[in-house]
Each structure stands twice: as structure tokens, then as C-alpha cells.
């Protein structure tokens, strides 16, 4: 299959491309599109056959459910029921935006969207291209991240093309994603708000609204047979580049020293070493590839750069990547959650 790529510079003058994409969705095809979190791989979310193609193109395990995206709030009531007062309060505050909510599903939602669960994840994105596409398609759009399963999520159209060229019908190129980390997932079906996956809508923001917010234990700890994530997709060690990623934790001066020492040692073994650094420390490292995720004073931009950088280490053929760690406050919780997964929970403490 030839993948059509359309660049959207302007919502009005390039509207014809969004119409073209909506037509593909209506005919059961696959369209990758930008959102404020990461690029999504969209299909008609009410068609089991169209959704099957998502799993096939991504190589996604069948038990990892898809999120349904709506273009306006009315769309929610077609696919979800029993919207608890807590859920209502949260969506009133944070939708449209980088937040997925779990609801009891209506029968029209196909089983392969929910991985057989009786709940469905729903998101109302704020990205204008995404919203216009969904509105024109006139159906909820099932869209997981538009990467090959296991790879870091795509934050640019070029990432999608690298993973899925020839496997999907179209890519809408709307530039770099604003947040660059997948949506926060919150389950309030039981009346209490529980974060199943951290993202740009932070625990602190939910606490500001509700006075509390719980976190699924699997977000903080390595999942094992006693700690099974409530979001099925969180059990996979994904976001990983080809290189083995090792997190190095401790006082900053010692971290730099330890990474340089280990880098030198591994280079002697003939390995290509990467370092995931920050603007503050970048100049201090001696390795083959040193990339800064941004300044520690701006964690939103670190979140936005993270997957791009993990992909770049791949592209530059790093064998091992040593990474600094971040505080788990605010959006740092989401950043560290993805980094820990990328590292397969591989830590060194100095």
C-alpha cells in the first residue's frame, strides 16, 4: 500500500486534506493524525474490521485496548454510560485536552476496541486538526499511538512514516506534538479518581480539582504478578529504543562521574554509548552521543522531547544509553514512568 502524506499548515486552506482523511476513515481505512499528546493511528471506532487493521499495522497485542476519540462532547454519550459525578467534574475541567477517561461502554463499541473489557477509554483532544478530522468522519475514532508496537510513541509525522510507511493509508502531518507524552488515563468508574497512566494532566492538577487523586500502584512500581496495571497496555515494557537504557540516580556531580566512567569502560568493549542529559549537564559528558532533553527548569519541554530523543539514539545506533533521572512531581511523574519503562526498570544508584 502507498501511504499518502499530507501536510496541514493551515486548517482552512488545507481543509481538503482533512476531508480526504475523513473519507478514508469512513471507508474503513487507517489515518495517522496529530494530537496534542502524540500522533494517533485512527480508524472508525465503531467498525471491528477497521479496528482490526490498527492492531495489524502496529503489531499490537490484542489485549491492549484502543482509546476512542471524540470531536465534540455529545460523542461521549453514544459510546459511554454511567458517567459518575467525579468523571463529569474531571471532564468539565480538562476536556478537550490530554486526558483519557474510562467509562462503562455501550454495546455499539466493538469488543476488539476494548480488548474484551466492559469499559472504554475516551478522549476529547484539543488539537484542531484531530477534532476537525473526527467531526468530519462522523464516528468516534479509535486511535492508539501511531508507532510500531514497542517503539517510543511518535511525536512527529516523520516518526510515523519511519514505523508505518506502506502499512497505513494516510499520514496527516501537523507538525510536532505539543506535550509529546501519551494522555493521562483516569478511571473514575468506581466513584474515586484513579490515575492509570500519568501524563500532562498531573496528579497535582487533579488534586487541585478534587482534593485528592489516587495512583494505580503499577504506575510507581515495576509491574509483577501482584501488581497488574489496570490499563492493560501499561504492562508492556515499551517506549524502548533498541539500545539498553540504564537510569542513573543520585547527586548530580556523582551521576556525571559515574556515567563517564561506565561510558569509557563500555567504549573499550567496542560499544557505542549514548547519554540522555539536560541542558545543565550536557557539556560535562564524554560519550559517543550526548543528547539533551532540555532544561530541568522546563519539564514540559523535557516531556515533549523525550520520545524524539529516544528515537534519535536508535537512529544513531547507540548500544547503551545512560540517562539522568527527574523528580516525580508534576509532569515529572509521566516522564519518569516512560523512562523507567524504556529502561525496563534498570537502575544504578550512586
Q: Which does 234 bind (CB under 5 to 8 A by kind): ligand AMP, Mg ion, none?
A: ligand AMP
Q: What is the rounded CA–CA span in Å between residue 2 and residue 45?
A: 23
Residues in the chain: 350
Touching ligand AMP, residues 92-131 (CB under 6 A): 102, 114, 117, 119-121
Q: Does 348 bind ligand AMP (CB under 6 A)?
A: no
Q: Which does 102 bind (CB under 5 to 8 A by kind): Mg ion, ligand AMP, none?
A: ligand AMP
Q: Is the backbone peptide bond immediately before 156 cis, with ω within 30 degrees of 0?
A: no
Query: Which residue number has the CB closest to ligand AMP?
Result: 233
Q: Among 35, 37, 127, 145, which residue interacts with Mg ion (rule: CB under 5 A)?
A: 145
Q: Among 45, 110, 140, 144, which residue interacts with ligand AMP (rule: CB under 6 A)?
A: 144
CB 189 within 8 A of CB 114: no
Q: Which residue, 65 or 71, is less far from ligand AMP as judged by CB?
A: 65
Q: Does 161 bind Mg ion (CB under 5 A)?
A: no
Q: What is the rounded CA–CA span in Å between residue 325 and residue 133?
A: 37
Closest CA relative to residue 305, chosen from 86, 112, 156: 156
Q: Which residue, 67 or 168, is less far from ligand AMP as judged by CB?
A: 67
Q: Which residue, 20 or 178, is less far from ligand AMP as judged by CB?
A: 178
Complete DSSP assignment for 7-72: E-S-TTTTHHHHHHHHHHHHTT--EEE--SSS-EEEEETT-HHHHHHHHHHHT--TTSPPEEE-SS
CB of 144 to Mg ion, least distance (A): 5
- Residue count at the site for ligand AMP (CB under 6 A)? 20
Touching ligand AMP, residues 185-224 (CB under 6 A): 185, 196-197
CB of 212 to ligand AMP, least distance (A): 20
Burial class from Cβ neighbours inside 10 Å (0-12, 13-18, 19+) for residue 9 reads exposed
Amino acid at each position: 500500500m502507498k501511504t499518502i502524506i499530507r501536510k496541514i499548515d493551515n486548517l482552512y486552506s488545507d481543509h481538503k486534506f482533512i476531508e480526504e482523511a475523513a473519507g478514508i476513515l469512513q471507508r474503513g481505512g487507517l489515518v495517522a493524525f496529530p494530537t496534542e499528546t502524540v500522533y494517533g493511528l485512527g480508524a472508525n471506532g465503531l467498525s471491528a474490521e477497521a479496528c482490526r487493521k490498527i492492531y495489524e499495522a502496529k503489531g499490537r497485542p490484542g489485549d491492549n485496548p484502543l482509546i476512542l476519540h471524540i470531536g465534540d462532547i455529545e460523542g461521549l454519550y453514544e459510546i459511554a454510560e454511567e458517567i459518575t459525578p467525579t468523571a463529569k467534574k474531571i471532564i468539565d475541567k480538562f476536556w478537550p485536552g490530554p486526558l483519557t477517561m474510562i467509562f462503562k461502554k455501550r454495546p455499539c463499541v466493538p469488543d476488539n476496541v476494548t480488548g474484551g473489557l466492559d469499559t472504554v477509554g475516551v478522549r476529547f483532544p484539543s488539537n484542531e486538526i484531530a477534532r476537525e478530522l473526527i467531526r468530519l468522519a462522523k464516528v468516534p475514532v479509535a486511535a492508539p499511538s501511531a508507532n510500531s508496537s514497542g517503539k517510543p510513541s511518535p511525536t512527529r509525522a516523520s516518526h510515523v512514516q519511519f514505523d508505518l510507511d506502506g502499512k497505513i493509508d494516510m499520514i496527516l502531518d501537523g507538525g510536532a506534538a505539543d506535550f509529546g507524552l501519551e494522555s493521562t488515563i483516569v478511571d473514575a468508574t468506581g466513584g474515586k479518581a484513579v490515575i492509570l497512566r500519568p501524563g500532562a494532566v498531573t496528579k497535582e492538577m487533579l488534586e487541585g480539582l478534587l482534593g485528592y487523586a489516587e495512583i494505580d500502584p503499577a504506575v510507581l512500581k515495576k509491574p509483577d504478578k501482584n501488581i497488574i496495571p489496570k490499563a492493560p497496555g501499561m504492562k508492556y515494557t515499551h517506549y524502548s529504543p533498541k539500545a539498553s537504557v540504564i537510569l542513573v540516580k543520585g547527586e548530580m556531580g556523582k551521576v556525571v562521574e559515574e556515567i563517564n566512567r561506565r561510558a569509557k569502560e563500555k567504549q573499550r568493549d567496542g560499544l557505542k554509548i549514548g547519554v540522555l542529559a539536560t541542558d545543565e549537564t550536557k557539556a560535562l559528558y564524554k560519550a559517543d552521543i550526548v543528547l539533551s532533553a532540555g532544561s530541568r527548569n522546563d519539564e514540559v519541554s523535557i516531556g515533549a522531547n523525550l520520545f524524539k530523543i529516544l528515537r534519535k539514539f536508535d537512529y544513531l545506533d547507540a548500544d547503551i544509553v545512560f540517562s539522568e533521572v527527574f523528580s516525580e512531581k508534576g509532569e515529572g511523574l509521566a516522564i519518569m514512568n516512560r523512562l523507567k519503562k524504556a529502561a525496563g526498570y534498570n537502575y544504578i544508584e550512586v
